[in-house]
Amino acid sequence: MAAEGKTIDALSQFELTHAFGPIGAAVNFTQSNAHMLAAAVVIVAVMAMGIAPRAVVPGRLQSLAEMFYEFLENLVTGQVGHEGKRYFPFVFTLFMFVLFGNVIGLLPFAFTYTSHIAVTFALAAIVFLVTTIVALALHGKKFFGYFFPEGAPLWLAPIIVPVEVVSYLSRPISLSVRLFANMVAGHVLLKVFATFVVLLGGLGAIGPVVAVLPLGVNVLLIGFELLVAFLQAYVFAILTSIYLHDAVHLH
């Protein structure tokens, strides 16, 4: 799988293929969609089965569900303030979807849907639209004051306003590019070192000895990628909360 034709082919892992045979092909249902569906099912299962016992002393699954809930709850209320509770379901859903996408993608033969800019940009665009709509709904026309700081001299408006608008528009781009780039970089690295293992392993007698080195690197990388998977979901959630803070408080 790693080294067909003795070359390093690190990018073919991101190609989309159809899932579910001819039915999937007929409706253009890709393996990316299948993994999204799997992630959604796993998330719902963890949360539903986790909270079902409602034990005072939580079991393993229940404490996992409670940990996710409390972590996100602290994050949202810490960033947005106590008004942030209304947006908790939104941030929670985003965080879980991104986290499980990243983590499921690390399993063998799995596909990482967060490694496609189309997916991350769609998520970031949803965040952008929601924060803008929240700001418009809460503050109406005052929202546009966001693009011109109070107390600045009026003759600077032609410079400040375009810069602020572009800065605001750059938010979904930086949000999506960060997640996408991190996931792609991690998976390319994993693939490159995995290919080294196979290529070096075929080099006669000394090959397998040398091949242990990239194998060790890959073991370390998997641990690192697990950290990155969590961290990027966290960054996505916290930036969403910061944008929501700006939308609610408007300054």
Judged by CB under 8 A, the residue of 74, 118, 122, 219 near another protein is 74
Q: Shortest gap between Cβ of 49 and another protein (angstroms)? A: 26
107 three-class SS: coil
* Positions in 181-200 near another protein (CB under 8 A): 181
Are 98 and 112 a contacting pair, CB within 8 Å? no
Structure-token match 């709509």, residue found: 133
What dihedral angle (degrees, nearest 10) is formed by the CA atoms of 168, 169, 170, 175?
Answer: 90
Task: Please report whether residue 81 would count as binding another protein according to CB under 8 A.
Answer: yes
In whole angstroms, give the CA distance from residue 9 to residue 192: 8
The interface mask with another protein, positions 137-176, x = CB under 8 A, is ----------------------x--xxxxxx-xxx-xx--
Task: Please report whether residue 46 would count as binding another protein according to CB under 8 A.
Answer: no
- How far does Cα 42 stand from its chain's mean position? 16
Q: Shortest gap between Cβ of 223 and another protein (angstroms)? A: 17
Task: Please report whether residue 78 would count as binding another protein according to CB under 8 A.
Answer: yes
Paired strand residues for 30: 18
- Return the structure tokens found at 48: 């539903």
Binding site for another protein (CB under 8 A): 74-75, 77-79, 81-83, 85, 159, 162-167, 169-171, 173-174, 177-178, 181, 231, 234-235, 238, 241, 245-246, 249, 251
